[in-house]
Amino acid sequence: MAGSALRRLMAEYKQLTINPPEGIIAGPINEENFFEWEALITGPEGTCFEGGIFPAKLVFPPDYPLSPPKMQFICEMFHPNIYSDGRVCISILHAPGDDPMGYESSAERWSPVQSVEKILLSVVSMLAEPNDESGANVDAAKMWREDRDQFNKIAERLVRKTLGLPPP
Amino acid sequence: MPVTLVDRLPLPNLKVYTAGSVSLLSIAVYYALSVTSDPNWRSNATLGRQDAMEPAGEERALPAPALGASRNVSEQFVDVLTFMMQEPLCMWTLINIAYCSLAVFGFGVQRLVFGQLRVAEAQRVKDKFWNYVFYKFIFVFGVINVQYMDEVLLWCSWFTLVGFLHLLGQLCKDRYEYLSSSPNTGGWAHVRLACLLGGILAAATALLGAAAAWGLPAGRDTFAFMAAECILVLVAVLHVAARYVLQLYEADVAGPAAYYTHLVFDSVSLVVELLHVLHMVVYSNMLVSMASLVLLMQLRHLLHELQARVRRHRLYTELATHMSRNYPMASKEEVEKNQDNCAICWEPMKEARKLPCSHLFHNSCLCQWVQQDASCPTCRRALAAAGAARPHSDAAARHPNHLFHFDGSRYVSWLPSFSVEVTRVRPEAALAGAQLDAAAAQLQLMFPQYSRHALASDLARTRSADLTLDNILEGRLPERPDMIVPEPINPSVIAPEPTPAPVPSSPALVVPSTPAPVVPSSPVPVLSSSPAPVMPSSPAPETSSSPAPIAASSPAPVAASSPAPVLVDVATVTATSAGPFASAPSGSWSPRGLYELDDSPGVRFSGTAEEREQALARRKEALLSAARRRYLDRVARVAPPPTHVSPAPQAPPH
């Protein structure tokens, strides 16, 4: 079980290294544990997260790719679909069995043809285009709807923080 | 659960414990020496406490004074030992030192075979240890109900040995899983582990022999209790060994051989444990007591687990027969024609199973996936599952996807959790007759480039509008060649936020339907500053229900991606960027080339782990510094737009 998971992860790692999507880097920090990766995601152009480099942790289950990995940002985040502890709430990361929100059809959830690259691209899309209906962070969802300026201000602060720049 | 209660007990570490035990022992030995140096110690001692002293001791005590000081070392040793066995305090010291040496031995084995334990392993061993202690305590004082100290001691030492093997077996299992999942482990680690497995196996067999030798005379019950424990250890260790053998023969991880091996071991260990607990309940014969309450809880949990295993097995066999009957293996030509690897494991296919949606997968990969979710991994088309033959109850109709979830951690923290879902296609949902025509007409409104006939025939085949829609979106449906140019589409259909940017009315234009999402109030047309708008504003649920503009402008097949409500469908972006901005790169979601990175695609993928780790760290550093530079440039060059907060005062435009 775990052997095939490992081979697949290795293949994905290789592909992500040789042909990386723009602004995305991912791989195991320490290959002693190939089931824990760190990813860097560049905030998408033209959005309030533009230019930020957001680090996230990916933890793969032993039966990957049958089950989805877990993803958690390890920097401070403020986004309607990211819990305050950094966990990402997107349907592609939900296993077909569990449905925490109770509204996703299984077609939107994890399937073994998904990959790390697709997850990360989805997360980039999510950064640009929050879904304020499934609010993992209700405060952020509310602010996104009602006070966009304030939201952008916070995002700007986070971007500067991830780049190691002092707040404006 | 007991685990959480005792977990917080402060335990001294091994060094302190060993030091304490050794000093206690030396005190006891010194005391024994000083007492036994008196040649008449036996008579003194017997006068004091040992009224039940054996006659042999009395006889031997008589010639002792005659020998006087000429006693040799071995005799003295025997004397000391005898004395210590009789003196209660010394006796406890001896028992303590026995436990201590076992702990040191275990620690040595751990250091030798496993090295530093990983956190997860240590945690699991700890959990298992406390669980074991808890249940054995219940057993000794609740079930056997021992009255005498000697009996308690005997049972304790027995369970210590068995528990020690249990823990080592658990460690072996964890470590084996870790080793087989780690890419770069030396052969030595495996050899050491295999040796330890052999050692445990031998020890467990010896214990089983001991149980037969000492347990049988004490009664059949005692023997059954003792043997059950040994058998459990043996089964667990043999399971790990069998996995080694399977791996050695490179057996297919999901093939029938491996599956049935696991099945046999799992069920044997469950059944033995079940019988063991049942035996205890019957033996204790006290249905209303704390002990039997705990035992019954454990029994219930074991039954559940066994049930789940049987259910999983039934599902597996049903699926296996169902798949082999309904989805034939792909022919040789089909496999050869299909250049892609298996989408599940990403490895090349020599033979493959073909689903009705003509997607190919490895048989074993597909088997494993279908146990979780009965649908095609690529297109999510539901496979008519094995459960279709079962009677259709109301509940089943309302929840067509049956979900079984087992949460092991609710019982014991080291148990796994899993869920099994069966998806069924309900026949009444299928389209037919007039419904089919209506659906075809509707689809043709959305996709004018397809002929009504083609749509109707595809609908007749898929019997579901959704599946046909998928086929269209993924380009599997042949379209009418004369109508590739899509019709203009009213952007307001899918644009939730009206964009202030002027909407050009070119017929082939789809892009205006994607306003700049973040800054809708910005007077500057953002589209011009960032070609290929990265974020088409697709309101979550509508995207999937109104996919017309996507497909209209992109007849090309698009990589299958399950549209999630939270996500922008990758296809959307591809399609829109291929529209008016011919210069914008298509095919990838993001505007490649908009920013230059130091690490361009084509980075070497090194063969060694160390180099890969270093390269990864370098690339991260490069990405971060490039992003920082770019950010500062942007802040310096462009006066930040009003909606973009934080005007950076320290950066005047050059």
- Give the DSSP H/E element, type plus range, for residue A28: strand A24-28
Q: How far apart are CA B229 and CA B204, in angstroms?
A: 9
Confidence of residue B413 (pLDDT cuts 50, 70, 90): low
Task: Among A15, A25, A134, A145, pick the best mutation site for testing chain B contact (most B Cβ within 10 A).
Answer: A25
pLDDT, average across residues B619-624: 90
Confidence of residue B337 (pLDDT cuts 50, 70, 90): confident
- For B562-576, B601-615, B625-639, which range has the lowest pLDDT when averaged over its residues? B562-576
Confidence of residue A121 (pLDDT cuts 50, 70, 90): very high
Average pLDDT score over chain B? 68
| Cβ separation A133–B565 shorter than 8 A | yes
Query: Hey, how many other C-beta atoms are within 10 angstroms of the C-beta on B39?
Result: 16
pLDDT for B373 equals: 76
pLDDT for B414 equals: 56
| Cβ separation B518–A152 shorter than 8 A | yes
pLDDT, average across residues B235-239: 92
Confidence of residue B354 (pLDDT cuts 50, 70, 90): confident
Is pLDDT above 80 for B530? no
Angstroms from B407 CA to nearest CA on chain A? 12
Each residue's pLDDT tens digit, A125-149 = 999 888 877 778 888 888 888 999 9
Which of B344, B518, B604 has the CB atom closest to A65's CB atom?
B344
| Cβ separation B589–A121 shorter than 8 A | yes
Angstroms from A78 CA to nearest CA on chain B? 15
Does the active-site annotation cover A89?
Answer: yes
Q: How far apart are CA B447 and CA B429, in angstroms?
A: 23
| Cβ separation A124–B603 shorter than 8 A | no
Interface of A with B in 32-71 (CB under 8 A): 32-35, 40, 42, 44-48, 51-53, 62-63, 65-67
Contact list, A152 vs chain B (CB under 8 Å): 518, 643-645
Percent of chain B surpassing pLDDT 90: 8
- For B89-98, B251-260, B436-445, B527-536, which range has the lowest pLDDT when averaged over its residues? B527-536
Is pLDDT above 90 for B351? no
Confidence of residue B565 (pLDDT cuts 50, 70, 90): very low
How many Cβ pairs within 8 Å bridge chains A and B?
253
pLDDT for B595 equals: 37
Distances (CA, A) of B278 to B70, B292, B294: 60, 10, 12
Confidence of residue B502 (pLDDT cuts 50, 70, 90): very low
Is pLDDT above 60 for B47? no
Is pLDDT above 80 for B129? yes
pLDDT for B430 equals: 46
Which of A31, A47, A66 has the CB atom closest to B613's CB atom?
A31
Is pLDDT above 90 for B79? no
pLDDT for B585 equals: 37
Each residue's pLDDT tens digit, B429-458 = 445 556 667 777 777 766 666 777 777 777
| Cβ separation B377–A113 shorter than 8 A | yes
Per the omega criterion (within 30 degrees of 0), is the bond before B502 cis? no
pLDDT for B8 equals: 56
pLDDT for B50 equals: 43
pLDDT, average across residues A36-54: 90
CB-neighbour burial class of residue A20 (10 A; exposed 0-12, middle 13-18, buried 19+) = buried
Q: What pTM was computed for the model?
A: 0.55
Higher pLDDT, B4 or B635: B635
pLDDT for B478 equals: 60
Average pLDDT score over chain A? 85
Is pLDDT above 70 for B524? no
| Cβ separation A111–B627 shorter than 8 A | no
Q: Is the separation of the CB atoms in B313 and B367 below 8 Å?
A: no
Angstroms from B166 CA to nearest CA on chain A? 23
pLDDT for B282 equals: 83
Is pLDDT above 50 for B10? yes
| Cβ separation B568–A129 shorter than 8 A | yes
Cα angle at B149 between B229 and B81, to 5 degrees?
Answer: 100
Q: How far apart are CA B64 and CA B70, in angstroms?
A: 10
Q: How far apart are CA B542 and CA B504, in angstroms?
A: 24
The catalytic position among A56, A71, A82, A89 is A89
Is pLDDT above 80 for B210? yes
Q: How far apart are CA B209 and CA B202, in angstroms?
A: 11
- For B5-14, B232-241, B490-499, which range has the lowest pLDDT when averaged over its residues? B490-499
CB within 8 Å of B610: residues ≥ 6 apart: none
| Cβ separation A31–B609 shorter than 8 A | yes
Percent of chain B surpassing pLDDT 70: 57
Q: Is the separation of the CB atoms in A37 and A29 below 8 Å?
A: yes
Higher pLDDT, B233 or B59: B233
pLDDT for A97 equals: 62
Confidence of residue B647 (pLDDT cuts 50, 70, 90): very low
Task: Among A94, A103, A125, pick the best mutation site for testing chain B contact (most B Cβ within 10 A).
Answer: A125
Higher pLDDT, B337 or A90: A90
pLDDT for B48 equals: 45
Each residue's pLDDT tens digit, B590-613 = 333 333 344 444 467 777 778 888
Q: Looking at this predicted complex, what is its ipTM?
A: 0.86
Q: Tokens at residue B172, please?
A: 């072996």
